[in-house]
Structure formats: structure tokens, C-alpha cells
Amino acid sequence: MLVQLATIAGRDDRPNEDFPAALADCAVLLDGAGGPAEMPTGCRHGTDWYVRQLGVRLLAWMGGRPEQSLTAMLAAGIAEVNGLHAGRCDLSAPGTPSTTVVMARLHPDGIEYLVLGDSTLLIDRQSQEPLIITDQRIEEVAVAEQAAMNALPTGTPEHFEARVRYVGRQRELRNRPGGYWITSADPAAAEQAFTGVEPAGELRSVTLLSDGATRFVEFGLGGWPALLALLGTKGINDVFDRIRAAETDDPDGARWPRAKQHDDAAIVHFRAR
Ligand SMILES: [Zn+2]
């Protein structure tokens, strides 16, 4: 397998909170959800610090602990990163850093995965439709607040205020019954991830994407097969260029309502040669 990865920040003046990392036979992709920088988090380090601390641990353990389940690794990672800052930061704050997580381990006969949050894993095999694994449960909460935000032009003060209300409501519903589960300060969230093993026969590619990168499909620039074809020919940079061009052509979000004009984007792509 050839493995390639790339990431691009949504804004030059803010840290990139996406974290893609890979070894020859495993990968992890995180998309940190800090909310607008103006909203308090209780953490003096920041969401970019959080995803780096967690991401490097998950990758190291995937590379060195073949006997440990991905669920156990995620729970252990959450607990260990808690220990790095519990003394100085308020981890009970509703806005404590959180992140999506996609983990994939490639074995000779199967692809073992874990997905929690709205990043995506694509498994592409010969003569089959691509398998799409993602966790969109966050879309089922704060629906009214999201609709109110989406009705307003991106980049206006009114849109920003609506986004603060939307993120605030999401935070109230995080990791509690009736809400949604996400990787944050509670190790028990790991048990709520989608996990499984997919057969690796006739495997063409395995791809991990943040939601900044799946905008390619969400915006209708092409379907999943078109995205995979681009990755196999022109590469990740070309996918990013097309997303940025579409975003720039829709500066106020009239065509594609969204929280941010440009989002951080990240892709890890394994391809059989
Ligand atoms: Zn902290």
C-alpha cells in the first residue's frame, strides 16, 4: 500500500485543529471541535493541543499494541490526556476540547476501524460500491439552532451570534443521555463509537477524511467514486483546491449554508499499487 496524507487550515490566523497521522499499516484522523475562539473552553492549552496529544498516543499504540482493541486505546487515550491538564484546566467546562476520531488498522485479511463523530472512513474494494462509515449523530441534536444559523449569511455578526448559540446548545448535549457522544474528557464515550472489521479482499483503497474534506461530496462537486478517482490520479491537493474554489464562489453561504467559510481539512489515503 502507498500511504499519503495532507491537511490544510481553514484560516491562516487560527491553528489547524485537524490531525491526520499514519504509519505503513494504520492511521488516525481527528477533527477538533473547539467552537469559535471567542467561546470559553476551560482549557488553557487549546483544541489544537488536545488533538495533537491524543492523536500521537493513538497512533503510537496502534503501531505498537497489536493485542489492544481500538476502543480500549481510545478510552486510555482520553484518560491519559485528561491527566496531562486536569490540574490546571477545568475539564468539567461544557466547552472542554472535543474531537472526532477515526482509527483504522490494516491487517492482511481485514480492516479494523473505529469511528466516533462526523469524520468519515471510506473502504473501496473491486467491483463494489465504496463503503462509507461515519457517525452523524451530532446532526440529530440542536437542529433548530443549526437551522437558525444556516438561514443567515456566513460572515455576518448575526450568523456568528447564531453559531455561538448552536455550539452552546451542542455543548449542553455532549456526552449525556438524549444528546450525542464525542471524544472529550469522558473515557466512557469510547464505548459509543462505531467499530468493526471489514474484509480486505480485493482492496483498492482506505481513506480517512475530516468533514472539511467531505465537503467535496456534501457540496455536490462529485460523488464518492469521483472523489476516490481524484485521489488516485491528481491527489489530495487537487481535492482541497476544488473545495476551496467552491467555498470562495459562495462567500456568504447562500448555496451551501455552513458554520465556517473555510474549514480545516484533512485526508489520509492508503492505496493498493
Ligand atoms: Zn488544558
Tally the residues of the chain. 273
SS3 at position 183: strand
CATH class for the region spanning 2-271 = alpha beta
Q: Starting from the edge strand earliest in sequence, which strands make up the sheet with 120-125, in order?
A: 2-8, 265-271, 203-209, 120-125, 131-134
The greatest distance separating any two alpha carbons of the chain, rounded to the nearest whole angstrom, comes to 53
Distance of alpha carbon 155 from alpha carbon 264, whole angstroms: 17
Q: What is the mean pLDDT of the chain?
A: 95
Cell numbers linked to 50: 488536545
Read off the pLDDT of residues 145-185 as tens digits, 9 standing for 90 and up.
999 999 999 889 999 999 999 989 988 899 988 899 999 99
Distance 89 CA to ligand 1 centre (A): 5
Burial of residue 34 (CB within 10 Å: 0-12, 13-18, 19+) is buried
Distance 46 CA to ligand 1 centre (A): 6
Distance 40 CA to ligand 1 centre (A): 12
Q: 39 falls in which pLDDT band (50, 70, 90)?
A: confident
Distance 18 CA to ligand 1 centre (A): 17
pTM over 0.85: yes
Distance of alpha carbon 23 from alpha carbon 59, whole angstroms: 8
- In percent, how much of the chain has pLDDT > 70? 100
pLDDT for 24: 97
- Give the 3-state DSSP-derived string for 134-169, with helices as H, strands as E and coil as C: ECCHHHHCCHHHHHHHHCCCCCCHHHHHHHHHHHHH
Tell me the residues surrounding ligand 1 (ion) with CB < 5 Å: 43, 45, 85, 89
Which DSSP string corresponds to 210-236?
-TTTTHHHHTTS--HHHHHHHHHHT-H
The C-alpha angle 209, 218, 167, rounded to 5 degrees, equals 80
pLDDT for 37: 78
Read off the pLDDT of residues 222-264 as tens digits, 9 standing for 90 and up.
999 999 999 999 999 999 999 999 999 999 999 999 988 999 9
Distance of alpha carbon 28 from alpha carbon 5, whole angstroms: 11
Distance 49 CA to ligand 1 centre (A): 8
**By the 8 A CB rule, do 30 and 99 touch?**
yes
Distance 148 CA to ligand 1 centre (A): 31
Please tell me what DSSP assigns to residue 130: P
Query: Where exactly are the structural domains of the chain?
Result: 2-271
Distance 22 CA to ligand 1 centre (A): 25
Distance 91 CA to ligand 1 centre (A): 8
Q: 58 falls in which pLDDT band (50, 70, 90)?
A: very high
SS3 at position 131: strand
Does 63 score more than 80 pLDDT?
Answer: yes
Distance of alpha carbon 233 from alpha carbon 238, whole angstroms: 9
Distance 116 CA to ligand 1 centre (A): 21
